[in-house]
Amino acid sequence: MTTLTLPDHLMALDARDPLAHKRSEFHLPRGVVYLDGNSLGALPRRVPERVAQVAQGEWGEQLIRSWTAGAEEGRDWMALPDRVAAKIARLIGAAPHEVAVGDSTSVNTFKVLAAALGVAQPGRRIILTDAENFPTDLYVAQGLNALLGGTLELRRVPADDIETHLTDDVAVLLLTQVDYRTGRRLDLKGITAQAQAKGTVTVWDLAHSAGAFPVDLNGAGADFAVGCGYKFLNGGPGAPAFLFAAERHHAQAPVAISGWMGHADPFEMARDFTPAPGARRFVAGTPMVLSLSALDEALDVFADVDMEALRAKSLSLTDTFIELLEPLTARFPLTLVTPLDHARRGSQVSYRHPQAREVMADLIAAGIIGDFRTPDILRFGFTPLYHSHADVWQAARGVQAALEARA
Ligand SMILES: *Cc1c(COP(=O)(O)O)cnc(C)c1O
């Protein structure tokens, strides 16, 4: 059971938190513990001003000149996707020219899946994936298969059995690193190596990884990846997503959505598609300037952040939450589903509860905002940039109160 006042050891952890100063860079509504930054990241304070400036100054005053104006100082709209890509690249262990920004994660999944199939070994037709993968990843694979006349096989197996199913006829392995329900984290490097030993091309969905902990795609030798701009990157609702294509694939990988903004020289208006250098070729259409500007500004919050320190704090926050709730698992039908093993944990903690939907509604009414996920999951996301151990303690007290009120 949690005590009435913040325990000393948690106060001490907050007192020596190297990221404590980052909290002031976010707008956080009063009276709320926001544990849903893994669904929609909180608003970085500098974003509204930037969006207003882009709208009024650049759109309003400069109008079409903004596409090229300020190119020397890096303010032109044309290269905005590339500047945002460079900021994301740093967080995911990629080179800037291996990242393309724009569209949704779903659309980017289509692009990289098509690219991965294009460089996969000839004759292979199996896409291997986690049976519990996020729906959009499964749906996009189904849609691509239908487009290809049903010539592929989407093989769905439990994540723990991936290794046994990685046979040498699998074309592409499509995995989400952190499970959106349980928060279980996969070994990106180890699984990539296993897949490549079988000649299989990897596609990683980093929706709950990018900005949540350090990711090292090139250190893992990963082939392709996608990720989300509005979760741990705090780019705002519907923020542009990103994709990663390892440099060694640029020459061979097909560009399935070969739009003019991925052309080497868009305003040449040539008849045939000549891809731009690097991953820019995957930027299909006109950059979404307003939302890209918000994401660009939001990413600057990470500029001085040591991602190893961020990971250490994330684990400390999730450990603390698990410890505080541990006594409740004996009193209530509350079951931890997030791995205790640090290596296998993302930046969220989830529990099963038979009335999870109702419990989460109670919690949200009490200002503890997490998520309910079907069928019976209570999901709490932790964002080291703006959470303290005091927040974790307050959230744990809220969970206890909600469970006691319902029992
Ligand atoms: C949130 C999420 C997405 C989001 O896809 P959108 O196209 O942005 O809606 C994709 N994959 C996973 C694993 C996610 O958690």
Domain ranges of the chain: 8-30+306-406, 52-302
Tell me the CATH number for domain 52-302: 3.40.640.10
Bridge partners (DSSP) of residue 184 are 345
Asked whether the beta carbons of 336 and 318 are under 8 A apart, the reply is no
Atom 15 of ligand 1: nearest residue by CA position: 207
How many angstroms does the Cα of residue 177 sit away from the middle of ligand 1?
A: 12
CA distance 38 to 180: 9
Atom 5 of ligand 1: nearest residue by CA position: 105
Q: In degrees to the nearest 10, what's the CA dihedral of 313, 318, 321, 324?
A: -90
Please state the rounded mean pLDDT for residues 268-289: 97
105 is in an annotated binding site: yes
Question: Is the CB of 36 inside a 6 Å radius of any atom of ligand 1?
Answer: no
Asked whether the beta carbons of 169 and 198 are under 8 A apart, the reply is no
Cα–Cα distances (Å) from 185 to 212, 268, 338, 342, in that order, read 11, 45, 9, 9
How many angstroms does the Cα of residue 281 sit away from the middle of ligand 1?
A: 22
Question: Is the CB of 241 inside a 6 Å radius of any atom of ligand 1?
Answer: yes
205 is in an annotated binding site: yes
Burial of 150 (0-12, 13-18, 19+ CB in 10 A): exposed
How many angstroms does the Cα of residue 230 sit away from the middle of ligand 1?
A: 10
Please state the rounded mean pLDDT for residues 113-123: 97
CA distance 345 to 352: 16
User: How confident is the model over 202-256, as pLDDT tens digits?
Assistant: 999 999 999 999 999 999 999 999 999 999 999 999 999 999 999 999 999 999 9
Question: Is the CB of 113 inside a 6 Å radius of any atom of ligand 1?
Answer: no
Structure tokens at 75: 């303010």
208 is in an annotated binding site: yes
Atom 14 of ligand 1: nearest residue by CA position: 207
Q: Is residue 76 over pLDDT 80?
A: yes
Phi, psi of 306 (to 5 degrees): -80, 110
Question: What are the catalytic residues?
Answer: 134, 205, 230-231, 379
Q: Is residue 279 over pLDDT 60?
A: yes
Question: Is the CB of 239 inside a 6 Å radius of any atom of ligand 1?
Answer: no
347 is in an annotated binding site: no
Please state the rounded mean pLDDT for residues 6-33: 97
How many angstroms does the Cα of residue 86 sit away from the middle of ligand 1?
A: 21
8-30+306-406 and 52-302 share one CATH topology?
no
Question: Is the CB of 176 inside a 6 Å radius of any atom of ligand 1?
Answer: yes
pLDDT at res. 4: 78
CA distance 204 to 327: 36
pLDDT at res. 38: 96
342 is in an annotated binding site: no
Q: Is residue 2 over pLDDT 80?
A: no
Asked whether the beta carbons of 289 and 316 are under 8 A apart, the reply is no
Question: Is the CB of 180 inside a 6 Å radius of any atom of ligand 1?
Answer: yes
Question: Is the CB of 205 inside a 6 Å radius of any atom of ligand 1?
Answer: yes
pLDDT at res. 94: 98
393 is in an annotated binding site: no
Q: Is residue 1 over pLDDT 60?
A: no
How many angstroms does the Cα of residue 136 sit away from the middle of ligand 1?
A: 7
Among 40, 105, 295, 377, say which to mutate for ligand 1: greatest number of ligand atoms within 8 Å of CB. Answer: 105
Length of the chain measured in residues = 407
Please state the rounded mean pLDDT for residues 397-402: 97
Please state the rounded mean pLDDT for residues 1-21: 90
pLDDT at res. 407: 87
Q: Is residue 96 over pLDDT 70?
A: yes
Q: Which fold has domain 8-30+306-406?
A: Aspartate Aminotransferase, domain 1 (3.90.1150)
Strand order in the sheet with 170-176: 99-101, 242-245, 224-227, 201-205, 170-176, 126-130, 153-157
* 3-state SS track over the chain: CCCCCCCHHHHHHHHCCCCHHHHHHEECCCCCEECCCCCCCCEECCHHHHHHHHHHHHHHHHHHHHHCCCCCCCCCCCCHHHHHHHHHHHHHCCCHHHEEECCCHHHHHHHHHHHHHHHCCCCCCEEEEECCCCHHHHHHHHHHHHHCCCCCEEEEECHHHHHHHCCCCEEEEEEECECCCCCEECCHHHHHHHHHHCCCEEEEECCCCCCCCCCCHHHHCCCEEEECCCCCCCCCCCCCCEEEECHHHCCCCCCCCCCHHHECCHHHCCCCCCECCHHHHHCCCCCCHHHHHHHHHHHHHHCCCCHHHHHHHHHHHHHHHHHHHCCHHHHCCCEECCCCCHHHECCEEEEECCCHHHHHHHHHHCCEECEEECCCEEEEECCCCCCCHHHHHHHHHHHHHHHHHHC
Q: What is the mean pLDDT of the chain?
A: 97
Among 40, 103, 106, say which to mutate for ligand 1: greatest number of ligand atoms within 8 Å of CB. Answer: 106
How many angstroms does the Cα of residue 105 sit away from the middle of ligand 1?
A: 6
Question: Is the CB of 136 inside a 6 Å radius of any atom of ligand 1?
Answer: yes
Q: Is residue 267 over pLDDT 90?
A: yes
Please state the rounded mean pLDDT for residues 257-278: 96
Asked whether the beta carbons of 346 and 213 are under 8 A apart, the reply is yes
Question: Is the CB of 228 inside a 6 Å radius of any atom of ligand 1?
Answer: yes
User: How confident is the model over 336-387, as pLDDT tens digits?
Assistant: 999 999 999 999 999 999 999 999 999 999 999 999 999 999 999 999 999 9
How many angstroms does the Cα of residue 257 sit away from the middle of ligand 1?
A: 19
Q: Is residue 3 over pLDDT 80?
A: no
